[in-house]
Chains A and B, each alone.
Chain A
Amino acid sequence: MGNINSKGIKENTYDAIVIGSGISGGWAAKELCELGVKTLVLERGRDVKHLIDYPTMAKDPWDFPHRNDLTLKQKEENPVASKCYAFREDAMHFFVKDKEHPYIQEKPFDWIRGYQVEEKV
């Protein structure tokens, strides 16, 4: 009968909202839930489905044009991310590109980021 959402406020009210599903947020959410707190986790990145979202999983070294090495351009565009051992042809797609999301470093700080559920966990 009609579209009255009389429970809207109640259903969308939480005791705790965790922002980010990485190692800290994920663990905090688990603890909160175990304490019986009504918890909401917000994550900006997409969900990564096991197996389905591993596009390079079944590739062999020769399937990568640079045999899994980075190109000069990729290194130049990602001075921070390319410091991470895993930032290679086979896993780059999980990383935040430095160019797309720059940040200010007052002191040198390597911020290796990924936007997906469970982040880098």
Chain B
Amino acid sequence: MKRRRFLSSVAIILPAAFVSTDILFSSCNTGTEENYFSEENINLLDEIGETIIPATASSPGAKAAHIGDFMKVYVTDCYTPEQQAIFWSGVNKVKKISKNKFGNPFPKLAVSQKQQVLHSLENESKSSKSTNKNESAKGDAVQTGKEETANTTDNTARFYPMIKDLVVFGFFTSKRGATKALRYIQTPGSYQGVVPYKKGDKAWAT
């Protein structure tokens, strides 16, 4: 199944698990740019992930699923150079906003501050999307990532959907995400079209 389709189906099936999905993310650093997966950056990505999918009483968060380590492998191996440029410009933007707005690296911010940082990035991507729509049909900029790669503003605007994709995809395909936040049976057996649902039941990963 295509990743995007998987994501959209997850989003449809699991609204309850996604309450915090729209709350965005942030950064952690001293302001120096290091565009590789240092321990510090992985920690930052864990924190960003945890802000998007936080732990609840009954489910683990993205950090417990080692979302930063997942991104290290996935972004390094599967992303095009253009997509990686978008990724790192966004990571650095998170660091910058945290520092400038709250005076601390992202991981040290309060939860509500982290959410604000991510919200500002989400809003940026939303407003840039509507601008693009007005200008011309540009297609799925985040996925193709090919146009205007030199444009940093554009890159950071494409970052939020990208990191959200990474967090959601990485979390729900991780062992903890699939088995603790969802219900997972490796071999579910026969198809059952209708199953009883009680409020609070976890959605199915399989």
Contacts and interface: CB of A to CB of B under 8 A. Distances in A.
Contacts of A72: 77-80
Contact of B186 (A60, A67, A69, A70): A60
A66 B178 contact: no
A62 B174 CA distance: 5
Given A66-B73, A67-B169, A69-B3, A61 B178 contact: yes
Contacts, number: 35
Given A60-B186, A61-B173, A62-B173, A71 B178 contact: no
Given A61-B173, A62-B173, A65-B73, A70 B78 contact: yes
Interface residues of A, number: 13
Interface in A57-93: 58, 60-62, 65-73
B2 to A, nearest CB: 8
Interface of A: 58, 60-62, 65-73
Interface of B: 3, 70, 73-74, 77-80, 169-170, 173-175, 178, 184, 186
24 contacts: A58-B186, A60-B175, A60-B184, A61-B174, A62-B173, A62-B175, A65-B73, A65-B77, A66-B73, A66-B74, A66-B78, A67-B74, A67-B169, A67-B173, A69-B3, A69-B74, A69-B78, A71-B77, A71-B78, A72-B77, A72-B78, A72-B79, A72-B80, A73-B77
